[in-house]
Amino acid sequence: MMKQMLKRWRWPLVVAILLLAGLALAFWPSPQRVDTGQVSRGAMAVGVTDDGVTRAEEHYVVTAPVSGYLSRIELEAGDRVAKGSLIARMTGRPAAPLDPRSREELKASLAAALAATRGAEASLAQARSDLARAEALAARGFLPKAQLESARTRVSAGEAIRAQNRSEAARLRAALSQPSGGADAAVPVRAPATGMVLSVITESEGVIAEGTPLITIGDPGEIELVVDLLSREAVRVKAGDPVEVSQWGGTQPLIGHVARVEPFGRLKLSALGIEEQRVNVIVRFDDLSTQEAARLGHGYQVDARIICWSRPDALRVPIGALFRGVDGGWRVFVIAQGHAEERILEVGQMNEMFGEVLGGLREGEIVAINPPGSFRHGASARSR
């Protein structure tokens, strides 16, 4: 009887089983595919990167020693100069000629000054005569001491007035006199040090003011690098930190070290018009012996990466695996036995590729990289 029933219902049962299997397979949760990475040990470094400009370690800006007429500077950028060699000559600017009206006014003022001088001399002579009589009477006790002091005061005042009038007369005579021949004497401009002409600032001849920059002299073989960092980044840098210099024109980075961090900041506007406090960090190159590196000169722009922290055997996790938990702490999804496990971890230093693991992960564990927002603890997961 049972056999007959099984024989009669065998095909409906097979179809029902297949339908149930299909439904179970359709609604069975499939594992999510995610990108994965591995916790590993290796070299890790953290630094700051910014533009830098090379400059000669010792460079001099030669300026005009006097106001006057500058002869044309024949030197060109790249020329070698020795200390004390002639750069240019300058002629002192002559005084402007007096117009007839000004000359007559000066003559009248000089005549008045001479007359005042003669009057002062006459008054001084009378005051001295009165002082001599006062001293004779005071010696015999016929003149009070106060009158004697008054006579002496009149003599001192007369001498001061005479000196003032003589000085004014001398000044007016100098103004009326023609410019002396010394105004046209040539003043040599000489190199303050041995080096190379880095730039010619004022090349053409003409009248210039005292202190006008003329040329810049330095040694391009002895160069350093100036990197201006944001002040909040500069505080992380210290003397002796290694530096990698790239984008200088060669295939391999140049190596240097931080010589000093200048102790003051300056206000600078960024390309977007934002005010920033910038600090100069001075970098010295360790080796510029290669033929390409030797062509670096004064004012060349490069990229500099200053290494503030490094470790050769750091336990590190890919930076894309890290995310913040609800409490603000660092989290990561560890993929183990086909399931995701949300793990709390302690992170130390971080750079653009890795985070330093201080606790919570072991070397060799597999972690999810950039997991989707729907990813949860215990979810079925497979490596993409």
Model confidence over 10-20: pLDDT tens digits? 667 666 777 77
pLDDT at 1 over 70: no
Which pLDDT band holds residue 5 (cuts at 50, 70, 90)?
low
Q: Is the pTM above the cut of 0.85?
A: no
* Token pair for 374: 């729907």
Nearest to 357 by CA among 319, 317, 308: 317
Task: Measure CA 261 to chain center.
Answer: 10
Q: Which residues contact 258 (CB under 8 A, 6 or more apart)?
A: 237, 238, 239, 240, 241, 243, 281, 282, 283, 306
> pLDDT class for 96, splitting at 50, 70, 90?
low
Q: 21-35, 86-100, 161-175, 211-225 — which one is most confidently predicted on average?
A: 211-225
- Strands 266-269 and 32-38, by their bridges, are unpaired
Asked if residues 38 and 367 have their Cβ atoms less than 8 Å apart, the reply is yes
Above 90 in pLDDT, residue 349? yes
Most confident region among 13-27, 42-56, 150-164, 362-376 by mean pLDDT: 42-56
Helix axes 145-176, 100-139, angle to 10 degrees: 160
Tokens, residue 129: 């005569």
Amino acid (1-letter code) at residue 95:
A
- Average pLDDT in the 364-370 region? 91
Rounded to an integer, what is the distance from CA 150 to the centroid of its chain?
67
One-letter amino acid for residue 302 of the chain: V
Split at pLDDT 50, 70, 90, the class of 181 is very low
Q: Using 50, 70 and 90 to split pLDDT, how confident is the model at 179? A: very low
Using the CB atoms, write b or e for 106-127: b if 16+ within 10 Å: beebbeebbebbeebbebbeeb
Task: Please give the Cα distance from 242 to 132 (Å, whole number).
Answer: 87
Summarize the confidence of residues 247-259 as an average pLDDT: 90
What are the tens digits of pLDDT across the range 122-174? 888 888 888 788 787 777 777 787 777 887 888 888 888 888 888 888 887 87
Q: What is the pLDDT of residues 296-329, one digit of tens each?
A: 888 899 999 999 999 999 999 999 999 998 888 9
Q: Is there a contact between 267 and 277 (Cβ–Cβ < 8 Å)?
A: yes
